[in-house]
Amino acid sequence: MNALLLNMLLALVWMMAVGRFTFHQLLLGFLLGFLVVSVVEPLWGGGTYARRVFRFVRFAGFFFWELLLSSLRIAYDIVTPELHARPHIFAVPLDARTDTEITLVANFLSLTPGTLLLDVSTDQRTLYVHTMYTENRERFITEVKQGLEARLLEVLR
């Protein structure tokens, strides 16, 4: 059985056992289920669930931090009298290979204020990204590849 499904099932069983169907009980049940699955899964020959959950939490923290910083950059540009934006279009080579990986990298890039995915090359090896505040091509590509793409692929693979 999939470890995430087992974890959710254990959370629901916890809520039924306690008899209270609240968000706090669901969260507590999920955490207790996580501990049970993390201990039992290596006995089944797995053992990757806990690592993947921690990688996902780390990626979520990274993404929300980047979201906050880019939102503040946009807000600062709006409230100041001079325009700080220097729009450019960059071609970003991809390490992502599957359609799911490419789609998620593209969507998370587009969710960040100040960046927008324009196109994916026909061979699916390059993203064309419009950015508002980056002039240095190498720095932008490094930030995308070592930041967003690397962390997302770490969660997915």
What contacts 24+ positions apart, CB below 8 Å, involve 63-67?
63/108, 63/148, 66/112, 66/147, 66/148, 67/111, 67/112, 67/113
- Round the average pLDDT of the chain to a whole number and report it: 92
pLDDT at position 32, please? 94
Q: pLDDT-based confidence at 26, cuts 50/70/90?
A: very high
Give yes or no for a contact between 98 and 61, defined as CB atoms under 8 angstroms apart: no
Q: pLDDT-based confidence at 97, cuts 50/70/90?
A: very high
DSSP state of 144: I
What is the residue whose two structure tokens read 């002039």? Answer: 135
Average pLDDT value for residue range 71-75: 94
Average pLDDT value for residue range 46-72: 92
Residue 48 CA to residue 23 CA, distance in Å, equals 27
Residues 6+ apart with CB under 8 A from 3: 37, 41, 46, 49
pLDDT at position 125, please? 96
DSSP state of 128: E
Q: E strand or H helix at 48, and its extent?
A: none
Residue 132 CA to residue 149 CA, distance in Å, equals 19
Q: pLDDT-based confidence at 1, cuts 50/70/90?
A: low
Domains (range + CATH), the chain:
3-44 (no CATH), 57-156 (3.30.70)
Amino acid at 85: A
